[in-house]
Amino acid sequence: MSQGTLPEAERIARLRLARTDGVGSVSYGQLLKRFGTAEAAVEALQGMGRPLAAEGIAERELAAAGAVGARHVLLGEPDYPPLLAELADPPPVLVAAGDPELAARPVVAMVGARNASAAGRGLAFEMAEALGAAGWVVASGMARGIDAEAHRGALSTGTIGCVAGGVDVAYPPENAELQAMVAARGLLLSEMPPGTEPQARHFPRRNRLIAGVSRGVVVIEAAHGSGSLITARIAGEAGREVMAVPGHPRDPRSTGGNGLIRQGATLVEQVADVLAVLNPFAVIERQVPPSRRAASVRPLRAAPAPAVAGQGDLIDLLSVSGVALDEVVRASGLPVAAVQAMLSDLEIEGQIVRLAGGRVARVS
């Protein structure tokens, strides 16, 4: 991990500017352009009587990051993600836990529904695993569902988790162990100070980080109006590739991805499709991604998805196009007998149907 080249006084001044109310990415860039350095900008603003974040606040934040095994990476320093720096108004300050050099490698983002189906989760894991084997770092947002499976699939090859709160605050709580593993083996990034509890207003920043560090974004299962679509929009506006996996038109989780495809996103169904978009001049061997049940990846699944609480949760794992029973059992975290009993009740109630080949589908 390389060290920042900015003098300590300039780093503190930049952090003060970034943490001052009313100073966003745009005004921060304008101040540096006008005054040349953050130290000069701080001195000028103080002379005008403008309120600034206190120097002690910046120093305490730097110390807090060190206390949780993280550090600040400022725009213009060697470890700042190069693709993120290409945005029109990149974040002035990042807090990083892990290896920032991962962000300098080829990165592709994978995002999608929190209440993803078992089939969607399986595809996310397998795609991330195969993309990692092909040399790509996989970025996502540390949410439950598609995000979590993408991180798990790429944990052994390189993954970047972008979070809305502090890098030391696990959200959602059930992903605490997974987030710790990403910090230890990959990279966690946030724009917020350590200790910050994520608020709704922080998530657009998280989405910008995901899109900004990546050459392209793959969307798997996204409902209309979901945060995944915000990430895709930011990526498209930045000139990055936008890809989406199509879904059944009667599944609400397919409306976002199908809509992206109608708007010009590339339709992808397997990892070879994604690689062809990201590197169209490479010779790509179209192969079935390695099984997620392979013994080599089993030890990485130390933070399994929580068991479903009831029939409603079990239905969320299904899609109208059908999901294999073993995928439902794996994703639910319940014994086979319990899943079979719940499915029988749902079938009697007319909420699911059984399909050929041992597949079950929700009724639209």
Q: What is the pLDDT of residue 308?
A: 53
3-state secondary structure of 165: coil
Q: Which fold has domain 101-299?
A: Rossmann fold (3.40.50)
Structure tokens at 117: 């189906």
Q: What is the pLDDT of residue 281?
A: 56
Sole residue written with tokens 């993600």:
81
Give the DSSP letter string of 176-190.
HHHHHHHHHHSEEEE
User: What is the side-by-side order of every strand in the sheet holding 216-220?
Assistant: 71-74, 93-98, 187-190, 159-162, 137-140, 107-112, 216-220, 241-245, 266-267
Give 10-residue mean pLDDT values along the chain (364 residues): 72 95 91 94 90 92 96 95 95 97 97 94 97 97 97 98 97 96 98 96 96 98 93 96 94 94 96 92 43 30 45 77 80 79 72 76 77
Q: What is the pLDDT of residue 329?
A: 81
How many whole angstroms from its chain centre is CA 243? 15
Please tell me the pTM assigned to this model.
0.79
Beta-carbon contacts of 330 under 8 Å, excluding residues fewer than 6 positions away, are 118, 122
Residue 299 CA to residue 310 CA, distance in Å, equals: 28
CA atoms within 13 A on the CB side of 256: 23
Question: Which residue, among 200, 187, 96, 185, has the nearest Cα to 140 in the 3D structure?
Answer: 187
Residue 360 CA to residue 226 CA, distance in Å, equals: 26
Three-state secondary structure string covering 14-59:
HHHHHCCCCCCHHHHHHHHHHHCCHHHHHHHHHHCCCCCCCHHHHH
Cβ-count burial 296-310 (b if 16+ within 10 Å, e if not): ebeebbebebeebee
Q: What is the pLDDT of residue 4?
A: 52
Q: Name the residue ranges covered by the structural domains of the chain.
A: 1-59, 101-299, 307-362
Q: What is the pLDDT of residue 312?
A: 67
Residue 317 CA to residue 3 CA, distance in Å, equals: 45
Beta-carbon contacts of 82 under 8 Å, excluding residues fewer than 6 positions away, are 103, 104
CATH class assigned to 307-362? mainly alpha
**Cβ contact 182:154 at 8 Å:** no
352: β partners: 362
Structure tokens at 126: 């397998």
CA distances from 12 to 4, 7, 42, 72, 180 (A): 12, 9, 10, 10, 28
| Sign of the CA dihedral running 307, 356, 349, 338 | negative
314 backbone dihedrals φ, ψ, rounded to 5°: -65, -40
Q: What is the pLDDT of residue 337?
A: 75
Structure tokens at 188: 């966690």
